[in-house]
Amino acid sequence: MKFFIDTANLDQIKEANELGILDGVTTNPSLMAKEGITGDKSIIAHYKKIAGIVDGDVSAEVLSVDYKKMVEEGEKLADIAENIVVKVPMTKDGVKAMTHFAELDIRTNCTLVFSAGQAILAAKAGTTYVSPFVGRVDDVTWDGIKLIKEIAQIYSIQGYYTEILAASIRSPLHIVQAAKAGADVITSPLSSILGLLNHPLTDIGLAKFLADQGKK
Ligand code: G3P
């Protein structure tokens, strides 16, 4: 399973990248705004910086909602760097745009996916990644991990090549559950990735090993 970091914060991207386990980055308009990045020029410049830090895929989201504008914007985003993947919302115009991008070999990430039906449409449109939002499904008391399992089962039966990117990950437990459910990728805040490190027995064991050798 690939690990993407879900942030537009350059320090956190660098920190995750230095761990050596980072396969890519996802952002969204809210995450960009959180870093104070708004307006076309600043957004493009910021994507350029992110794409220069990591070797893996960097999802850059279109802000247009109309097919023609989405295509124009997506093509511009794809031109920023080789590792840019155009993030497109699961709408009627989005499906048309993803089909267009697939024909041009421009890779896409279909975002705002909340049902198996939407995931089937995304795969049919030839998207590279489909992003079901685990945490936001949980927020409305449905089961985000169950959705990942359902999509994984359908994709395996149908032989779809689209990769399942479990998004809206909110905890280390979500990462483990997404791995068990068949996600190909998780995208997560740095805190949940680092949370995977924690185990009290590791701390106790290390302290004992060091103490036994007279080291602190
Ligand atoms: O980028 C999409 C997604 O990961 C958002 O997460 O926590 O805002 O639901 P969250």
Domains defined for the chain, CATH in brackets: 2-215 (3.20.20.70)
Q: Using CA atoms, how far apart are residues 46 and 9, in angstroms rounded to an integer?
A: 10
87 is catalytic: yes
CB neighbour class for 130 (10 Å; exposed up to 12, middle 13-18, buried from 19): buried
Annotated catalytic residue, options 14, 34, 87, 149: 87
Whether this prediction's pTM lies above 0.75 is answered by yes
Sign of CA dihedral 139, 128, 189, 31: negative
Q: Does 118 contact ligand 1 (Cβ within 6 A)?
A: no
Q: Does 27 contact ligand 1 (Cβ within 6 A)?
A: no
Is residue 169 within 8 Å of residue 188, measured between CB atoms? yes
Q: Does 133 contact ligand 1 (Cβ within 6 A)?
A: yes
Per-residue pLDDT of 127-166, as tens digits, reads 999 999 999 999 999 999 999 999 999 999 999 999 999 9
Average pLDDT, the chain: 97
Distance 111 CA to ligand 1 centre (A): 10
Q: Using CA atoms, how far apart are residues 24 and 50, in angstroms rounded to an integer?
A: 10
Tell whether the model's pLDDT for residue 119 goes beyond 80.
yes
pLDDT at 216: 77
Minimum CA distance residue for ligand 1 atom 7? 168
Task: Give helix 10-18 / helix 40-53 axis angle, nearest 10°.
Answer: 10
Q: Using CA atoms, how far apart are residues 108 and 163, in angstroms rounded to an integer?
A: 11
